[in-house]
Structure 1
Amino acid sequence: MFTAVRSGHLAAVLGLVDLLGIPRGTKAFRTGITHMSLNLTVVILFAINFAVRAGQDYEKASVFGFVLSLIGLALLGASGWLGGKLAYRYGVRVADEQTQREGFTGR
């Protein structure tokens, strides 16, 4: 679990660095803010979910915890889609064409 938490922190820091490199007032920046907000919401939802389920008996499933999981997963999916849009449509943190071309040469 601690490795996943550390990886999440690293991804958040690098994502913030990427976000700060996007010009303000652009579609890409607004998409990045939405992506970040959804990710923070997901973290909060799963922290609440953990707290709700932590003291429960494993044989009794919590309906509230299950609903929180479904909402969190739906938001995470939407955030992932926005992250893909940032990279593949807007080219955020993607190498320029010359650098990409150099990666496909035979040398």
Structure 2
Amino acid sequence: MAEIKEHTIKSRAAIIGHPLHPLMIHFPVAALMALVASDLGYILSGDPFWARVSLWLAGVGAFGGWIASIAGIIDLVTVKGIRRLVNGWSHAIIAVMMLSLASLNWLMRFSDTDLILPWGFAVSLVTSVMIALAGWLGGRLVYEHAVGVELEK
């Protein structure tokens, strides 16, 4: 693992120095990852309960993710140190692509539960892989570039 730089990059979307974006992403990420499991529950059982669970998880994941992205976008466009990082732009681009897929997934389920198999499940799987990639890039921003981290002196 690369060494953390000697200086920190402060977040502008923060409350009392605590960056909002990392705080806000946990529920959307959990919802979109759990969506894969609820899709499997529906596919294996055929029980419409799991289709409703999947609809709600897709909605919470998509809408919550877009809300969390506002704080990330504020940091990306207003903090020069983040704008200069390829990891920052890569994280943002993958996250927008992932949230677009998550939104499409929710819209498909909202209109017709028959789309869960195969399209909804396939989109859920691709979304979960993109979440992992965006999370890895976000982790690099924190651990390698000290974005939103206060280093001890």
Structure 2 length normalisation: TM-score? 0.51
Residue 105 of structure 1 corresponds to: none
**Which residue is equivalent to 2:88?**
32
Unaligned runs of 5+ in 2: 1-55
Deviation beyond 6 Å, 4+ runs, structure 1: 1-4
**What is the TM-score with the length of structure 1 in the denominator?**
0.70
Structure 1 residue 56 displacement after superposition:
2.3
Residues 1:16 and 2:81 aligned together: no
Query: What number of residue pairs does the alignment pair up?
Result: 94
Greater relative CO, 1 or 2 (CA 8 Å, sep 6+): 2
Structure 1, residues 54-105: CA drift from partner, whole Å, max 9, x if none?
A: 23246x742011111100110011000111110011111111323xxxxxxx
Residues in 2 aligned to 1:33 and 1:80: alpha-carbon distance in whole angstroms: 13
Work out the CA distance in 2 between the residues paired with 1:30 and 1:6.
Answer: 25
Q: Give the AA of the match of 1:73.
A: S
Query: Computing the radius of gyration over CA atoms, which structure comes out larger, 1 or 2?
Result: 1
Query: What residue in structure 2 maps to residue 55 of structure 1?
Result: 111
Give the 5 Å matches for 1:73-88.
73-88=128-143
**For the residues of structure 2 that align with 1:96 and 1:48, how far apart are their CA atoms?**
40
CA RMSD of aligned residues (A): 2.7
| Counterparts of 1:15 and 1:6, CA distance in 2 | 13
Which ranges of structure 1 fall in alignment gaps of 5 or more residues? 99-107
What fraction of aligned residue pairs are identical, expressed as a percent? 24
Whether contact under 8 Å (1:53, 1:62) holds in the other structure is no
